[in-house]
Amino acid sequence: MAAVKAGRPPAQQPRRGPVGKPKAAQLSRASAAEATKGNAAQIMTRLMTLASQSAAAASQRYFRAEPGGYGQGDRFLGIRVPQLRALARTVGEAGWEVARPLIKSGWHEARALALFVLVRAFERGDPAVREAIYGFYMRHLKFINNWDLVDLSAPQIVGGFLATRRERGAVLTRLASSRSLWERRIAMLATYSAIKRGDARDALRLAKLLLHDREDLIQKAVGWMLREVGQRVSQEVAEAFLLKHYRDMPRTMLRVAIEKLPPARRKAYLSGML
């Protein structure tokens, strides 16, 4: 190897690769973001054409959006679920990214539409798409703030993604321990995915954790998942849990859990005769 002469620095190697590539990538991301905003604006225009004042007023009452209600402050356009599902099939063709601005909307139906789009894309996506959607969902939990928004999305996205993940138990426990009513419901509804596969372990563990929750919507969610354990996994498994805890659980939770049992069996539970 030739020696380098003293006082003369070695020649620098020329740069390789296109210098403008990072800038081009930034421009591409910016263009994609603008396109997403444009699509979202068009979608909101379409939602406005479907709005109904009378249906909006009914939704306002149904979802307890009055002061002091669990949906306080939410705003409704009055669009039916079948219309939102049909629209999700159309707008979802542009990619799940159209959900980004919609999920933050002050309109309940826009957030619902975003979740329908996310669920549809998640169910059709490859592992990378599923992970991206799950991450997006978990970063935007504060916008998933009513029971219908939770129920239409948590089983598929949270339950579906965590199905084979080692962190499943830790994530569900953290959500179930949250001060947020909606995060606790997300945790319980996420177990539906495993229940449908014949696995009741997460459902029973979270049911015990939430056994004394004071919120009616959590009591109903726990009772619902216990009922599904009996219907889809094993009635013996469900009743083993019920027999151990039915005297201590809230009445609402118990009534929902035993809803599908024969009348005499339901009466025995409600009268404490078991």
Closest CA to 217 of 254, 179, 252: 252
Does the pLDDT of residue 246 top 70, yes or no? yes
Question: Which tokens in the block code for residue 4?
Answer: 């380098």
pLDDT for residue 6: 42
Identity of the amino acid at 46? R
Q: 126, 161, 194 — which closes off a domain?
A: 126
CA dist 78 and 58 (Å) reads: 8
Question: Which tokens in the block code for residue 216?
Answer: 């009616």
What share of the chain in percent tops pLDDT 90?
82
Give the CA distances from residue 170 to residues 86, 173, 235, in Å, rounded to whole numbers and listed in that order.
36, 5, 27
What share of the chain in percent tops pLDDT 70?
86
CA dist 195 and 17 (Å) reads: 52
Asked if 121 and 167 sit in the same domain, the reply is no
In a domain? residue 99: yes
pLDDT for residue 20: 47
Asked if 191 and 86 sit in the same domain, the reply is no
In a domain? residue 107: yes
Q: Tell me how many domains the chain contains.
A: 2
CA dist 266 and 255 (Å) reads: 8
Mean pLDDT value of segment 9-31 = 47
In a domain? residue 147: no
Beta-carbon count within 10 A of 66 CB: 13
In a domain? residue 257: yes
Angle (CA) 228 231 233, round 5°: 85
The pLDDT tens digits for 143-191 are 999 999 999 999 999 999 999 999 999 999 999 999 999 999 999 999 9
Does the pLDDT of residue 25 top 70, yes or no? no
Asked if 184 and 271 sit in the same domain, the reply is yes
Q: 111, 126, 141 — which closes off a domain?
A: 126
In a domain? residue 20: no
Mean pLDDT, the chain, whole residue set:
89
Does the pLDDT of residue 237 top 70, yes or no? yes
Asked if 157 and 117 sit in the same domain, the reply is no
Asked if 49 and 90 sit in the same domain, the reply is yes
Classify residue 69 by its DSSP letter. S
Asked if 212 and 264 sit in the same domain, the reply is yes
The pLDDT tens digits for 30-81 are 444 554 565 888 999 999 999 999 999 999 999 999 999 999 999 999 999 9
In a domain? residue 11: no
Mean pLDDT value of segment 222-247 = 98
At 23, the pLDDT band (50, 70, 90 cuts) reads: low
The residue with greater pLDDT, 7 or 246, is 246
In contact, 204 and 230? CB cutoff 8 Å: no
In a domain? residue 198: yes
Asked if 160 and 253 sit in the same domain, the reply is yes
Asked if 165 and 67 sit in the same domain, the reply is no
Cα distance between the two ends of the chain? 91
Asked if 111 and 191 sit in the same domain, the reply is no
Question: Which tokens in the block code for residue 163?
Answer: 């199905």
CA dist 249 and 44 (Å) reads: 43
Asked if 158 and 274 sit in the same domain, the reply is yes
Asked if 67 and 115 sit in the same domain, the reply is yes
According to DSSP, the residues that pair with 107 across neighbouring strands are 75
Classify residue 249 by its DSSP letter. S
pLDDT for residue 191: 98
Q: 91, 110, 126 — which closes off a domain?
A: 126
Domain that holds residue 206: 153-274
CATH number at residue 272: 1.25.10.90
pLDDT for residue 33: 52
